[in-house]
Each structure stands twice: as C-alpha cells, then as structure tokens.
Chains A and B, each alone.
Chain A
Amino acid sequence: MPSLTRRDFLKLSAASAALAAAGCSAPREPIVPYAAQPEATLPGVPRFYASAASFVGAAEGVLIESNTGRPTKVEGNLAHPGSLGATSVHGQASVLELWDPERSQAPRRRRLPAARDSFERELNDALARAEARHGAGVRILAPTVCSPALQSQMAGLASRLPEARVHRWDPLNRDHAHEGARLAFGRQLEPVYRLEESRALLSLDCRFMEDEPGRLSYIRQFAGARTPKRETMNRLYVLESAPSLGGAMADHRYAMPVAAIERWLLKLAADPSQDRVMRAIWDDLRKNQGLVLAGESLAPWAHALVHKLNRALDAPVSLVEPIDPRPETHARSIAELARAMHAGEVELLLILEGNPAYDVPAGLGFAQALARVPLSVHLSLYEDETSALCTWHLPATHYLEHWSDARAFEGTAAIVQPLIAPLYGGISPHELLSLLLRRPQRGYDVVRAHWRGIDWEGALRAGVVADTAFRAERPALRDFDLPQAADAPAWSVRFVADQSVLAGRFSNNAWLQELPRSDSKITWDNAALVSSDSARELGVQTGDMLELATQAGAVSAPAYVIPGHADRTVVLALGYGRTRAGSVGNRVGVDAGRLRGSGALWTAPLAGVRKTAGRHEFATTQDHARMEGRDHAKHIALADLVGKARAFADETPEHSLYPAWPYDSYRWAMSVSLNTCVGCNACTIACQAENNIPTVGKEEVARGREMHWIRVDRYFEAGRALFMPVPCMHCENAPCEYVCPVGAPVHDSEGLNLQVYNRCVGTRFCSQNCPYKVRRFNFLEYSRSEEPLKAQKNPEVTVRMRGVMEKCTYCVQRITRARIEADRENRRIRDGEVVTACQAACPAGAIVFGDLSDGNSRVSEAKRSPLRYELLAELNTRPRTSYEGRVLNPNPELA
C-alpha cells in the first residue's frame, strides 16, 4: 500500500479503535450562564485581585488570579514592599492549601461533628461565668499576629475582660532578635536591612533569604547588588551552622556550630585584628558600607552586639517597631500559659490558628495541660493534633476566603480580601474574636472599621495601604553585659524551619512536600544532615539511622551526608513527623520538636548521638552532588572577568548537519542568570501551579518520575553550592524532534519546541534522546481531577493523561494570550508583555524571557552578556535557553 501515509494509517487505526469505543460519546457539558451577571466579569479572561499572605511573621503582597471566581494562581505584587513582584514557594503553594480536600469542613466537639450554634451557646455560657470574674481564666493563644485589626480586637478584649490574657506562641518566633534589641536599646525593635546599599555583607547564621520576614525583598536587593561591575558588586561573608541559600551564594563561607559563631562574634567585637580572616572581613566591612546580619539561632546578647557593630559601621539597617510587639517573649508566654493550664487556672482557652499540641516544646507538657481546660477552642484550617485534644475545633477560613489585613516586614499594611466565599463555612479569627467580645461582627466590618478614613478602594486596588510603613528610629545604644565565652558542646543539633513545610503549616501540601529541598534535593522527608567528616566519625552513610538525644527527648532520624557542612552539628528541619496533618503529611519524616526544649529553640547540645540499626530510603531528585569535571554550572572570579568579552569559551560547533530554521516573526528565548539565582525553588512551584503539573508521591520520585518542568540542579564545588535552574532548552536542533515516531515534538514558527499531547503515544524516545533530561512522562494517571482539587487547574493549559510526555512550553499559553491581545490591536507584542510563570515568581529576577528578533529586548541584552553560555553547547543543540555564569567576588586578602 504505497499511498498509505502516516496520517492515513493513524486515521484508520483510530477508526478501528472507535470499534471498541462504539457507543461511547463525549460527556454532555451544559452551558451554564449566570442568572445575574456580576459586574466586570469577563468569562475567559482571568482577573487579578491584590491581597496579602503571611508565612514567616510578615505579609507578602500577592495578586491572585481568578478564573470566573476560582482562585487558581498566586503572583507577586510589585507595589508591595514585602513582595516587589516576587512570590515565595509558600505563596505559590497557598492556592493548593485553599483547595485541599482534607481541610476541616465542619465544627467538631470532642472530634464529633457538631453545630456551630451549640458552640456559640457553650461559649456564651462560659463567657457569662468569666465576665463575673472580670475575665479571669480566659486565655487566648495565637502565633505572631500580623493583622493590625486583630491586634486592636485583642486590645479591645482588655477593656471588656480586664483579667483575660493573650499569649503568643509561634514555633518560628523572633524572640532572640527582639530580646537582643531590648538589651541594646531598651526596647523591642526589628532590624530592616537595606541590602542594596551595602557592598560587604556579613551574615552570622542569618537565613535572610528563607526565614527572615523581609525575605523576598532581601533576595531582590541582594541580587540587584550582585551585578558584576567593579564598583557595585557586593561581597557576602557567611558563617553558618546549617546549609542555607545565603551560604550557597557566599563569596566566603565558614561552616561552624552556633556556639563557635557566637565566640567568633565576641572576638570580632573585642578586637578584630587578632585573626587574619577576621581582620580582612572587618576591614572590608568598614570600607564598603558593611552590614552585619544576625540570625535567630544566635543568643540575644549576640544580636545586641551586632546592633553595636552595625552602629559602629554606620550600616544600612533601619530599626523599626516589630509587627507584633510583645511585653514578653513567646517562650515565656507559652511557658506561663502551660503553667496556668496545669494549675487549673484556665477556664476558657481560645487557640487562634497554630498547632501548639504539636509544636510547643515537649517539656512544657502542653498537650497534657489541654486536658485540664474545661473549654478549649481551636480555630484552624485542618483538624490537626491540637484540634483532637480541644473541646471544640472550628474550621478556619483560608486567607483567600476572608477579610483581614497584614503588615509587611517594614510595617506597610495591606488589606487581605477574599477571592471566594468560604468553601466550608469557616470562621475567620476576626469573627471568632468578635464572638468573644460579645459583639458578633462580620470580618469585613471589623477590618473596614479598623481602617476608617483611608482610601479603601485605592488600598484594595494597589494591595497596600499608603503611608503605613513604620518610621525608622535611631535609639541610643545602651551598655549590656556580655557572657564569658562558653565551651562549645562536643555535638549539637540545629533546628531550622523547613524550606517547604515551615514548622508544619504546609505538611499536607503535596506541591511543597515534593519540592526538592535546595541543599539536599530530598523530597517528602526531613533528614539529619551531617557533614562528611562527622558521618565518618559516626560511621554512617546517607540513609543510616541516627539516634539523637537532647535534654528534651530523643528521636531516631535518618542521616543525610551533605558536604561542606559544619562538623559535629546535626541539622534537623522542623515540621515533620506529623500524626494528624492529613493523608499527604502524616508520617512524613521525623518530629524534630521532640528534641526541642523551651530554652533551646534553635540549637541544643546533643547528649547522645549514635548510629542505630535500620535503613531509610530517601527520594531525592539529584543523585550527583558533583559535576564530575563537566562544568555545567560555570563560574568565574570577578577579577578574571575584567576586560573579557566572553567569560566562557563558546563550545558550539561551527557547522550543523541540519539546515537552520527560517524565522520571520518572534523568536522566543530565555536567559537564566546563575549569578543572581539563589536556588529558592520559587520557579519550580510557580511552574507547577501555572501548568497543571501533578505530584507523584515519594515512591514515584524515588523511581525518578517527578514531573517538574523546571528543576533546580545543585552542585557542590569548592566549598559552595551552585544552583542551576534547568527548564526545556527549546533547542534549534532539538534531539527530541528527530526521534519521535509520531512527530509529537515539533518546532514552531517562533522557535518553540512543542509537545503535541494528542500525537504522543508514549514511546519515550524523546526523553531518552534529550541531553538535558527535562522531559517528563506520565507513567501513571498522576493528574488528580477530583473535586475540589480540579478547581485549582489553570483553564488555559491541557491536563495531561497517563502515557503522555510533557515538558516546559515557555508558558505558551501566556505567549498566546499576549499574541491575541497584540493581534487584536494590530501591533507586535511588546518586550516584557510575555512573562513566564517562573520569571514572574523569581525573587532574584534571574530569569529573563522575550523576543530575540527585537535587538533591544531584555533577553537580547542578556544574551549579549559576557557571562553568557549554553548548557552542553558542544552537542550542537543550539538551545534558546542560555545561562549567565556565576561571578564570585572573593576578598583578595583571603585568597
């Protein structure tokens, strides 16, 4: 049959397949218009609403994409100081939190479903009794409160129930920073760093890129000052006790336990000239607008000392009022509450979010004390460990479902506006507190009344309330006592907030669980991170079990060997070992909280550490820690870069067997700057949210079947980690296109390498032939399309089924949207009109996307950078995605 072409053959086979499917027809989907069309809705065109979300004790401004009433995607708000257009991994994942089918859906009394009315009756009875005692026995517990309206409601409680008390417990509290300021200045203050003004930064265990309230702004500022011009490029010194993003970006990194960092700081403050390294760093700081950043793991006196050093340096740091000022520390506040509960002094306890039964230091016996409280009420998104122990559990509203407000790290307030009516009839903290005040109010009325007199609609539209930033203060320094340098413990454990689940808030979030942690590339787990030398000393390898014991308790955790980490310091992330998180988060990892004593929240001496029997299998996405001499993530020292037109030799072969593609319109391309990428993973999860990318679970990740379209590779080299985001390269000579038997990967007229899902029959030849290994195959039906999860899906992107290959599309749906808009107006797409999801999320601005046919576009400019190179250029694939290599700026005196 010579005339039978491939298409005809496929048609015939499809027709014969129809035999099997005869009788089946497409499901009937009625068209359901509005009964009454809401104003300004335009079905088919997403709308964006400004709001704010708080994850690490301060608001990050967000723009929420709403598709006919469904919030589907989170973007950053350029106008918000806590976002500057970027989003964190948590911001991206918060939309999945909204649609999580395992969120609590009904009030429960002693674990059994109960009516909200009977709760209100019980509360009112208890309140009537409490009012007779002027509120004695009424306690409220909340994590860091970022909402000014909630703070003023709490203040209102004092006048109604003068004897009632409000407590704070946030597992990621900032006690040490605030106490440090109290030592140095006599009152609580929060340092706000102006990183862009500094050319020499010294971070003392400060995780300013992941845990500090200003993290997104700090990454942007840091990246902005990282441009390789001799006068402006900054230099970063990091002393750290746990691997951090900052440590990976450092020009000089020193890994040591917390006690050693504190000792180093004491010496620096006393006399920097006694040590060569210290002297060089101090000289650099003095000459170059130096700034010292202190991490929460350091003792309060160390924070005070850092304030003193910064004052001496005249460092670019502003001191502002904390978002949630407290007369006492969180540690003391929770200890007092636990004492009162044990003593039977608490009649009514209201827990506004948080999960204290899981995350309060074990020594306080909080969980046991809960049993002694006659009426305990827990308001939370999930029915968790605390809910199970409380009299009442109330489903809370998600931040996308309620009215509230929140302050950013430097004070700017934003209104939190709902995108959707509460899915499960939840109650907001404002509403619950108004019940306690015996003045039931809607959340909207509480917030609106608090912000009387502002330009309300302007504030909603912009996502910030104008002129609400805190004023920088310049209080006088006080004298304070410094401790004697204590002996460092032989072994210590260091607790860190997990990059993905924080202290457990996001345990049930599959996107975050499956996001490879930047340093270890572990998914679905936490691990006892140990250095190579320590591992040798303990006789363990990755996967062996370690028994760790502190004064507070003991756990058995699997070891993970990570090079370049501080010796004899075991790092364990918080937020794992949950028992009532949900089907995603239960029994994932080990609970570091059991080692955490109330006096040792961030580091504790290890009373015992030894190898025990048993093995644990990790699911990591990158087995190789080293580049094996292949130099994928290229870097160069600033001094070597001077005067070079090209930092890295162009290895692209001159000729190609394949003819060049003709292009007569746009030529889309991407440039990724390794010089500013801090490896925060925001791109990976933004892509997941935008492109309907499924999660596959731990077992499948262990088989190498994760689906991320853009991954962040991590290499350890020369004592540092190098990060490298790898999306599809959209090769001109694409190896995938040549081998597909059904022509599913095709080249389009603008240079995109497309994957046509309907053609794909799942041979996987393309993935086999892709040198970058960016193609992802749906081995199983990974895409969950049940309610309500399917409401999160981006309607602009096909949901792929089992047996189909997929990969990065350069966000073709965003290109198409821009093209249609431009074509309707008979113009070309402007530079910056197409922003890919990864690019939009990136706090460092490391990803640039645009049209190469426009010589003035930002991507064209990036491609002219002397740092440009292509990954595996020697293979002659001629990728559209190129990189800008990393520039290191070491101090010549420390060479």
Chain B
Amino acid sequence: MQVFSPPAVLALKLGLIAAVCALALGAVTLYKFLPAPGGERSPVQPIPFSHRHHVGDDGIDCRYCHWSVEKSSFAGIPSTQVCMSCHSQLFTDAPVLAPLRESARTGRPLRWARVHTLPDFVFFDHSIHVAKGVSCVECHGRVDTMPQVRRVASLEMQWCLGCHRDPAPHLRPPAQVFDLAAPYPGAQMQKALMKELHIADVRRLTDCSTCHR
C-alpha cells in the first residue's frame, strides 16, 4: 500500500530540491560576503611604521631590514637593534617610537601584528622566489607607497597557483626584484628569463609537494 499519493511525493521532492537550492544559495552568498580568509588586511601595529617613508622617501633597500630574504624561507623582521641603528640618532624622543625605546631598554622584543599569514600546512620560501625573479611587489604590492602596510593579495591557493601555472608574466630580471617601482620587462624578455632562471617545469611548480609537506 502506498502511504503517500503521487502528488504528495512530487511536492515532497520539489520541496527538498527547493530546500537544497536555498541552502546552496545561502552558502554561496556567505562565501562571497564573509571577510576573506587570511586575516585582517591592515591591522593596527604597535608602532605606526611607514614603509612609504622608509622605502619610498628614504630609499632604504628592502634587505636592510628583511635581511634573510635571499637566504631563508623567512624574510626576516628587523631586530630592535636594527631600528636603533638609525633611531638612536634620529627622532630620539618621538612619542610614536616609545615602544621601540622601551624594547631597546628592556630587551623585550616588539610584537608586530601579522599582515601576511599563511596556514601552517603551507611552506612558503622567500629565498627561492626572489632568486627566480619574483619581485616583492608580486605579493606585497607597492609597499613603498603605503603609509601603513596592508595586504593586497588574497594569499589563497588559487592565487598562488595563478603564478605557479604561468610564471612568465610575473618575472623580472633578478637585479630588479627589490626595485619596487621598476616596470615589468615585457613578454619576450620574460620568456628569456624563464629559460635563464631554469623555470621550465610548470608541472613541478604545481605539484602538491612544492608547497605542502
């Protein structure tokens, strides 16, 4: 004996489909409108450090502070002593630098808020990217124009893969990697760079093991 009549079954089915669609729609809406993963784009820092002033105006090379970027996975965050190499002479009593002086006095490090963060299962290496002609600008944007650093890229896997699948348009001659304002050299030059820097194997670049261990 049939419990439900055929029209009831149809209504039930339609109702279920509608419910699934509504759920999916809700999910997609949330996915679009929830804050992007990767944390706050421009968090408040203990000292309102201005990259525009230090890099753009003063012309300090990236590597003066981010000194291990060519040698290590970690680009390096300057120690209090590095800041103090100038600020023991300059702006010695500026109120904004009070935390810095405090750190120098007590030996307790500053605690900077992270702007660019990756999940723990992603193993990003700065040194290989800069060695292969990927400029700081690619991921960090024109920090030389930012009074307060903010994240310009999503840092999602899809975004990483965009470059790993087709690296050529993102390359610069290694000599210009730290020159944030330098123009990109054009497709032909970039093709030559691919060869010169031995970045032929896109299959290798998109292997899971390239970034995950």
Q: Hey, which bits of chain A sit against chain B, CB under 8 A?
A: 11-12, 15-16, 18-19, 22, 25-26, 28-37, 42-45, 664-665, 746, 748-750, 752, 754, 756-758, 796-799, 809, 812-813, 815-816, 820, 823-824, 826
Q: A34-B109, A809-B213 are in contact. Are A820 and B127 (CB under 8 A)?
A: yes
Contact with A along B149-182 (1 / 0, CB 8 A): 0000000000000000000000000000000000
Q: A22-B34, A35-B109 are in contact. Are A44 and B68 (CB under 8 A)?
A: yes
Contact A36 B72 (CB under 8 A): no
Q: A749-B207, A812-B209, A824-B127 are in contact. Are A15 and B113 (CB under 8 A)?
A: no
Contact B212 A758 (CB under 8 A): yes
Q: List 15 A-B contacts (CB under 8 A).
A: A15-B30, A16-B23, A25-B35, A26-B117, A29-B114, A30-B114, A32-B109, A33-B80, A33-B109, A37-B79, A42-B68, A43-B68, A45-B71, A750-B204, A813-B123
Chain B residues positioned under 8 Å from A826 (CB to CB): 197-198
Question: Which of B28, B125, B201 has the largest count of A CB atoms less than 10 A from its CB?
Answer: B125
Contact A18 B31 (CB under 8 A): yes
Which of B24, B37, B203 has a CB less than 8 Å from the CB of A12?
A: B24
Q: How far is the CA of A498 from the CA of B37 in the complex (A)?
A: 51
Binds A, one of B7-15, B100-108, B135-143, B184-192: B100-108
Q: How far is the CA of A809 from the CA of B207 in the complex (A)?
A: 14
- Starting from the known contacts A22-B30, A750-B209, A754-B212, 13 additional A-B residue pairs (CB-CB under 8 Å) come to A15-B27, A16-B24, A19-B27, A19-B30, A26-B117, A34-B81, A45-B71, A748-B209, A749-B207, A798-B120, A816-B209, A820-B128, A824-B131
Name the CB-closest residue of B to A799.
Answer: B120
Contact B131 A813 (CB under 8 A): no
Contact A12 B28 (CB under 8 A): yes
Shortest C-beta distance, B93 to chain A (Å), equals: 20
Chain B residues positioned under 8 Å from A34 (CB to CB): 79-81, 109
Name the CB-closest residue of B to A31.
Answer: B112
Contact A29 B197 (CB under 8 A): no
B82 at the interface (CB under 8 A from A): yes
Name the CB-closest residue of A to B71.
Answer: A42
Listed from nearest, the 8 A-B pairs whose CB atoms lie closest are A44-B74, A44-B72, A15-B31, A33-B77, A30-B111, A34-B79, A37-B79, A748-B207
Task: Give the bracket for the number of chain B residues in contact with chain A.
Answer: 35 or more
Q: A43-B68, A798-B121 are in contact. Are A35 and B27 (CB under 8 A)?
A: no
Chain B residues positioned under 8 Å from A32 (CB to CB): 109-112
Chain A residues positioned under 8 Å from B48 (CB to CB): none
B51 at the interface (CB under 8 A from A): no
Contact B72 A42 (CB under 8 A): yes
Main secondary structure of the interface of A (DSSP, over half): loop
Name the CB-closest residue of B to A691.
Answer: B213
Q: A16-B23, A19-B30 are in contact. Are A813 and B213 (CB under 8 A)?
A: yes
B147 at the interface (CB under 8 A from A): no
Contact B125 A820 (CB under 8 A): yes
Which B117-133 residues have C-beta < 8 A from chain A?
117, 119-121, 123, 125, 127-128, 131-132
Q: A29-B114, A30-B114 are in contact. Are A823 and B23 (CB under 8 A)?
A: no
Q: How far is the CA of A15 from the CA of B78 in the complex (A)?
A: 38
Contact A797 B28 (CB under 8 A): no
Q: How far is the CA of A26 from the CA of B204 in the complex (A)?
A: 30
B208 at the interface (CB under 8 A from A): yes
Contact A18 B72 (CB under 8 A): no
Contact B201 A665 (CB under 8 A): yes
Q: How far is the CA of A82 from the CA of B107 in the complex (A)?
A: 41
Q: A35-B104, A37-B81, A44-B68 are in contact. Are A18 and B111 (CB under 8 A)?
A: no
Shortest C-beta distance, B213 to chain A (Å), equals: 5
Contact with A along B61-76 (1 / 0, CB 8 A): 0000000100111101
Shortest C-beta distance, B97 to chain A (Å), equals: 15
Q: How far is the CA of A813 from the CA of B109 in the complex (A)?
A: 30
Name the CB-closest residue of A to B202.
Answer: A749
Chain B residues positioned under 8 Å from A748 (CB to CB): 207-209
Q: A29-B117, A44-B73, A824-B128 are in contact. Are A35 and B213 (CB under 8 A)?
A: no
Q: How far is the CA of A693 from the CA of B186 in the complex (A)?
A: 48
Q: A758-B121, A813-B213 are in contact. Are A18 and B34 (CB under 8 A)?
A: yes
Contact B81 A36 (CB under 8 A): yes
Contact B74 A30 (CB under 8 A): no
Chain B residues positioned under 8 Å from A815 (CB to CB): 209
Shortest C-beta distance, A813 to chain B (Å), equals: 5
Which of A18, A36, A746, A824 has a CB less than 8 Å from the CB of B30?
A: A18
Name the CB-closest residue of A to B119.
Answer: A26
Q: How far is the CA of A746 from the CA of B107 in the complex (A)?
A: 48
Which of B110, B197, B204 has a CB less than 8 Å from the CB of A665?
A: B204
B59 at the interface (CB under 8 A from A): no
Chain A residues positioned under 8 Å from B114 (CB to CB): 28-31
Contact A36 B79 (CB under 8 A): yes
Shortest C-beta distance, B176 to chain A (Å), equals: 17
Chain A residues positioned under 8 Å from B77 (CB to CB): 31, 33
Chain B residues positioned under 8 Å from A809 (CB to CB): 209, 213
Contact A35 B127 (CB under 8 A): no
Contact B213 A749 (CB under 8 A): no
Question: Which of B23, B121, B210 has the largest count of A CB atoms less than 10 A from its CB?
Answer: B121
Which of B27, B82, B113, B123 has a CB less than 8 Å from the CB of A816?
A: B123
Which B1-60 residues have C-beta < 8 A from chain A?
23-24, 26-28, 30-31, 34-35, 37, 39
Contact B79 A798 (CB under 8 A): no
Q: How far is the CA of A798 from the CA of B122 in the complex (A)?
A: 8
Contact A35 B80 (CB under 8 A): yes
Q: How far is the CA of A809 from the CA of B82 in the complex (A)?
A: 40
Q: How far is the CA of A758 from the CA of B28 in the complex (A)?
A: 21
Chain A residues positioned under 8 Å from B204 (CB to CB): 665, 749-750
Contact A664 B201 (CB under 8 A): yes
Q: How far is the CA of A754 from the CA of B125 in the complex (A)?
A: 20
Contact A823 B213 (CB under 8 A): no
Chain B residues positioned under 8 Å from A664 (CB to CB): 201
Name the CB-closest residue of B to A823.
Answer: B128
Contact A816 B72 (CB under 8 A): no
Chain A residues positioned under 8 Å from B127 (CB to CB): 820, 824
Chain B residues positioned under 8 Å from A799 (CB to CB): 120
Which of A15, A42, A750, A823 has a CB less than 8 Å from the CB of B198?
A: A823
Q: How far is the CA of A725 from the CA of B197 in the complex (A)?
A: 40
Chain A residues positioned under 8 Å from B73 (CB to CB): 44-45
Contact A823 B132 (CB under 8 A): yes
Which of A30, A758, A823 has a CB less than 8 Å from the CB of B112?
A: A30
Chain A residues positioned under 8 Å from B37 (CB to CB): 26
Contact A749 B203 (CB under 8 A): yes
Contact B31 A33 (CB under 8 A): no
Name the CB-closest residue of B to A23.
Answer: B34
Q: How far is the CA of A799 from the CA of B120 in the complex (A)?
A: 9
Q: How far is the CA of A6 from the CA of B63 in the complex (A)?
A: 43
Contact B209 A754 (CB under 8 A): yes
Shortest C-beta distance, B210 to chain A (Å), equals: 8
Chain B residues positioned under 8 Å from A15 (CB to CB): 27-28, 30-31
Shortest C-beta distance, B75 to chain A (Å), equals: 9
Shortest C-beta distance, A46 to chain B (Å), equals: 10
Contact B81 A812 (CB under 8 A): no
Q: How far is the CA of A752 from the CA of B208 in the complex (A)?
A: 10
Q: How far is the CA of A853 from the CA of B79 in the complex (A)?
A: 44
Contact B39 A26 (CB under 8 A): yes
Name the CB-closest residue of B to A747.
Answer: B207
Shortest C-beta distance, A513 to chain B (Å), equals: 27
Shortest C-beta distance, B126 to chain A (Å), equals: 8
Q: How far is the CA of A26 from the CA of B108 in the complex (A)?
A: 25
Contact B74 A43 (CB under 8 A): yes
Question: Which of A750, A754, A824 has the largest count of B CB atoms less than 10 A from its CB?
Answer: A824
Chain B residues positioned under 8 Å from A29 (CB to CB): 114, 117
Contact A36 B107 (CB under 8 A): yes
Name the CB-closest residue of B to A662.
Answer: B203
Q: How far is the CA of A28 from the CA of B203 in the complex (A)?
A: 34
Q: How far is the CA of A37 from the CA of B203 in the complex (A)?
A: 39
Contact B120 A33 (CB under 8 A): no
Chain B residues positioned under 8 Å from A33 (CB to CB): 76-80, 109-110, 112
